Amino acid sequence: MNPVNWPPHYYIHQPIHFEGYISPPGSKSTANRVLPLAAVGKGSITLEGLPQGEDVRLMIEALHTLKVDIDQQTPTSCHIRGQGAAFTTSQPIHLHLGNSGTCMRFLSGLLAASQGQYTLDGVQRMRERPLGPLVEALEPLLIPLYKDKNALSFGLTPGFPPLTLSTQGLRAGVTQLDPSLSSQFVTGILLALPLAQGPVTLNLNAEVVSAPYIALTQALMEIWGAPLHKEATGYTCLEPKGYTNPSHYTVEPDPSSASYFLAAAALCGGPVTVKGVGHNCLQWAGEGGFARVLEQMGAQVQINSHTITVQAGVLKGITINMDSMSDTAMTLAVLALFAEGPTVLTHIGNWRHKETDRLAAMACELRKCGAQVTEGEDWLSIQPLSVSPSALHNSMTSHPSPSTHTQAVYSATPLLNDDQYIPIHTYNDHRMAMAFTLAGLGGLPIKILNPSCVEKTYPQYFTDMQGLCKN
C-alpha cells in the first residue's frame, strides 16, 4: 500500500476460513547486519531478500550518506561495491536513524572503528533509548581524532543519542560490556572488532539477554570471513583482518513476521504453511522457535527444514521464559487471550527499551480486550477472556457477527458502529499493530489505530494477512 493512502485506523474482523501459504519478508535483524558488513567488506556482493521496511531503508540511506556504492536493483535486492575497509571522511557526517535501534547500535560500533567525525541521532523516542553500555565499552578502545577533544560525546543526555564520535579507529585491547539491557550492544561491538588495529577482547560482565541474536551476529561474521573466538566470559578477535564479501547472499524470511501467520492459524483453523522458516534457518534457536511454543500450547505443528505448518488446536495457557524470543513474545501475549488458563511470560524486561515500553503498552491494551493482566518488572501474567470472543462480540452488538458475512480481515470502514470496536493504541510500534490484529482474527471487534506503523518492518502485512482468507 502506498504510505500516503494509510487510513487513521483499520477495523479487524474474523475471517470465515483462513489457510494457505505465505513467505514473509526478509529478516530485518539479518538485513541490518549484512548491509553494513557488505559496505566495509572487500569485493562486490549482491544482496537479495531484503525487507522493504523503514529500518532497512534507514540503514541503506545511512550507507549512502557514508559514500557506499549501492545500486538498488529491485525493492528487495541491491548490489554493493564494498570499500574493503572501515569508513573514512574528511568532513563531519550526520546520520538521522529514526527509531531504528539496529541502525543506531550497529553503526555506533562500526563508525567507532572508522576515521572521522560522525554524529548519530534519531527521533525523540530514539533519544530515550539507552546507548550508554555500548559507549562505555567503546571508550577505552577509541583513538581520538583530535588531541584536545574527547573521542565521543553525547549531545543532550549522557548515555542517550545523539552521539558524536571523533575517532581514528579502535586500538588493540580488552574492554567489558553490560549486555543485560540489549543484545544489540554486544552486536555493535562485535561487528567493529575485525576493523580494529589489533586483537580485541570483549568481556561480558552480566547476564546476556536475547543471546540467539548474538549467535546470529557471530554466524554472519563467519560467512564474511571474520570468525570470533568465543570464550567463557566473552569474545576475542585474534587477527583483525576486516571482512570479505561473498559474491551473493540471500536474507532469510523473518521468523518474527512469520509468527503472526502461525498464531492466526492456531486461532482460525488453518492449515497455514510459512515458507523459508524452519529448523535449518539461522534464527531457529531464537525467534524461529515460536512454532515450538504454539505446539506447547496445543496447536498442531509440523516443522521441516524450511517450512512450518500450523493448524488449530485447543490452546492452553503456559508459563514460559521468552528471553530468546522477545519479539514473538508479543504474539504470544495476544494469543493468550484465547487460551484456557493463564499465561505467564517471563524474562521480557528488555521490552521496556524497545520502540515503546512494550510491557506497559501490552498490559494496557490487553486489559481493553477483557483480560486480567498483572505487569511485573520483567514479566507479564495474562488471565484470558472470561467469555468466548464470539459471546463477547454478540453481547456488544445486535448485528450479526462480521464473520458471517465478510471475508475482509481489515477495512478502513466499520461493519458495526464505530463505538462498538475496541480501540487499540499502537504507540507507533509496528509489533503492537501486528500482534493485536490477532485479537480481531480471534473474534474481538478490534480497531487498530495508526496501522501505518507496520512500515517499520512489514508494509504489506495487512494485505498478506488478507491473502490467507479463503472462500
Residues forming the active site: 327
Classified as helix, coil or strand, 177 is strand
Surface-to-core class of residue 346, CB atoms within 10 Å of its CB (0-12 exposed, 13-18 middle, 19+ buried):
middle
Beta strands 319-321 and 372-375, pairing class: unpaired
Whole-number Å distance between alpha carbons of 157 and 146: 23
Residue 19's CB: how many other CB atoms inside 10 A? 16
Helices (H), 126-182: 132-138
Whole-number Å distance between alpha carbons of 388 and 98: 40
- Please check whether residue 436 is in contact with residue 446, taking contact to mean a CB–CB distance below 8 angstroms: yes
Classified as helix, coil or strand, 446 is strand
Helices (H), 224-339: 255-268, 290-297, 328-335
Whole-number Å distance between alpha carbons of 397 and 307: 40
Helices (H), 408-451: 430-441
Chain centroid to CA 93: how far? 27
- Please check whether residue 79 is in contact with residue 46, taking contact to mean a CB–CB distance below 8 angstroms: yes
- Please check whether residue 146 is in contact with residue 180, taking contact to mean a CB–CB distance below 8 angstroms: no
Whole-number Å distance between alpha carbons of 190 and 215: 11
Strands (E), 215-296: 229-230, 234-237, 248-250, 269-275
